């Protein structure tokens, strides 16, 4: 019989699919690594499994323990999958700007969710960082994965995402493009690919985030960009940056669903905008791999909702309706 022993064993080995419709006029091959094929529907399953495995090995997480983490949702889902398998209690701290559906998903997995104010600085006691720190101190047997500092996050990508891309492209990948949140994806995957061959690593950053320079201000793309430099991000891995604004990212996100059949989140649209800018300048033998971090179902009431788009000033009047 061929079966997995638990859902946690289904993490990784996501497929590459060629983008054929949004790549009009581009000679290079553009391949999307579709991370929503992970059991928790995002790339974060990879770091969750690796972080919990390491915490158990290091004695930081013991039977009956509690996992406390500030997370916008995807990391929480990944942690929940693994925690359920192993019997840990879960408490997730979520800033209120994040989609209601994401919180509902965490609760559906049986997690406790604490919602905090987005509009306070990280050092404020009401911030999601501070609240999770306090809970991790107060609750006996609590372990805080701390996805912004835990090196087992990037290591998870070094050991899985990178080798998968190298294997599946038979070493022909020339460019790897990914959005940067904690930086774990680009740091781990990029490091592996740079060691494996001559691969150019391109980071994609929302306008308003710290990584690619310019003014730091709010933006609506979720899961990427930061207003501080996390320890999980090694900027030396990145050869070049692309900056993408909310409007471009969301327009592409909607095109990916309608034209490619890929219902993905806004950070995926953002990454594809960056990848296409890079690919446009490349010859036919180039192979660009762009990572699509999560599924679009968590954004149905936002990016995929016409009223929400218009209420937030995004123009959808010029969108094509392909036959």
Interface residues with ligand PMP (CB under 6 A) are 44, 72, 74, 179-185, 222-224, 265, 267, 293-294
In the complex with ligand PMP, which residue's Cβ is closer, 44 or 254?
A: 44
The residue number whose beta carbon is nearest to ligand PMP equals 223
Give buried/exposed letters for 151-181 (b at 16+ CB in 10 A, else e): bbbbbbbbbbbbbbbbebbeeebbbbbbbbb
Nearer to ligand PMP, 45 or 222 (CB): 222
Among candidate residues 202, 243, 211, 216, the one with its CA nearest the CA of residue 230: 211
Whether 254 and 303 have beta carbons less than 8 Å apart is answered as yes
Q: CA-CA distance, 216 to 228, in Å (whole number)? A: 10
Number of helical H runs and strand E runs in the chain: 10, 10
CB of 51 to ligand PMP, least distance (A): 12
Which lies closer to ligand PMP via its Cβ, residue 69 or residue 294? 294
- Give the closest residue to 243 by CA, choosing from 272, 267, 218, 274: 274
- Report the residue number, 95 or 293, with the smaller CB distance to ligand PMP: 293
- DSSP assignment of 102-128 equals HHHHHHHTT-EEEEE-TTS-TTSTTSH
CB of 20 to ligand PMP, least distance (A): 23
Minimum separation from the CB atom of position 322 to ligand PMP (A): 26
Q: How far is the CB of 294 from ligand PMP (least distance, A)?
A: 4
Of 44, 102, 220, 302, catalytic: 44
- Cβ closest to ligand PMP, residue 29 vs residue 74: 74
Buried b (16+ CB within 10 A) or exposed e, 2-31: eeeeeebeebbebebbebeebbeebebbbb
Find the angle CA(96)-CA(153)-CA(216) to the nearest 5 degrees: 45
Bridging pattern class, strands 29-34 and 16-18: antiparallel
CA 215 to chain centre: 23
- The residues that bridge with 32 in the sheet, in sequence order, are 17, 290
Active site residue 44: yes
Q: Smallest gap, in angstroms, from Cβ of residue 35 to ligand PMP? A: 9
Q: Shortest approach of ligand PMP to residue 132 CB, angstroms?
A: 15
Q: Which CB sits closer to ligand PMP, 65 or 298? A: 298
Rounded CA gap, 146 and 63, in Å?
19
Q: Which residues pair with 206 in a beta bridge?
A: 244
Catalytic positions, please? 44
């Amino acid at each position: 019989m061929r079966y997995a022993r638990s859902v946690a064993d289904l993490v990784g080995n996501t497929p590459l699919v060629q983008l054929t419709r949004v790549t009009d006029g581009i000679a290079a091959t553009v391949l999307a690594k579709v991370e929503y094929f992970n059991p928790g529907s995002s790339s974060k399953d990879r770091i969750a499994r690796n972080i919990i495995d390491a915490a158990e090995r290091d004695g930081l997480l013991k039977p009956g323990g509690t996992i406390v983490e500030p997370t916008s949702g995807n990391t929480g889902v990944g942690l929940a999958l693994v925690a359920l398998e192993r019997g840990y209690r879960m408490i997730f701290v979520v800033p209120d700007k994040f989609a209601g559906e994401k919180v509902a998903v965490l609760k559906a997995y049986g997690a406790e969710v604490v919602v905090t104010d987005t509009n306070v600085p990280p050092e404020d006691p009401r911030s999601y960082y501070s609240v999770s720190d306090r809970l991790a101190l107060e609750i006996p047997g609590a372990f805080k994965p701390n996805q912004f500092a835990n090196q087992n996050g990037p290591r998870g990508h070094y050991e899985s995402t990178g080798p998968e891309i190298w294997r599946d492209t038979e070493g022909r990948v020339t460019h790897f493009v990914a959005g940067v949140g904690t930086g774990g994806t680009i740091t781990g995957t990029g490091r592996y690919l740079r060691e494996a061959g001559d691969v150019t690593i391109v980071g994609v950053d929302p306008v308003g985030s710290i990584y690619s320079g310019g003014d730091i201000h709010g933006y609506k793309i979720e899961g990427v960009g930061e207003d501080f430099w996390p320890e999980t991000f090694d900027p030396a891995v990145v050869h070049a940056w692309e900056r993408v604004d909310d409007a471009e990212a969301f327009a592409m996100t909607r095109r990916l669903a309608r034209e490619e059949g890929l219902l993905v989140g806004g950070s995926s649209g953002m990454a594809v905008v960056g990848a296409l800018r890079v690919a446009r300048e490349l010859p036919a033998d180039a192979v660009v791999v762009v990572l699509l971090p999560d599924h679009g179902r968590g954004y149905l009431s936002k990016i995929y909702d016409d009223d929400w788009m218009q209420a937030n000033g995004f123009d959808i009047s010029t969108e094509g309706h392909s036959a």
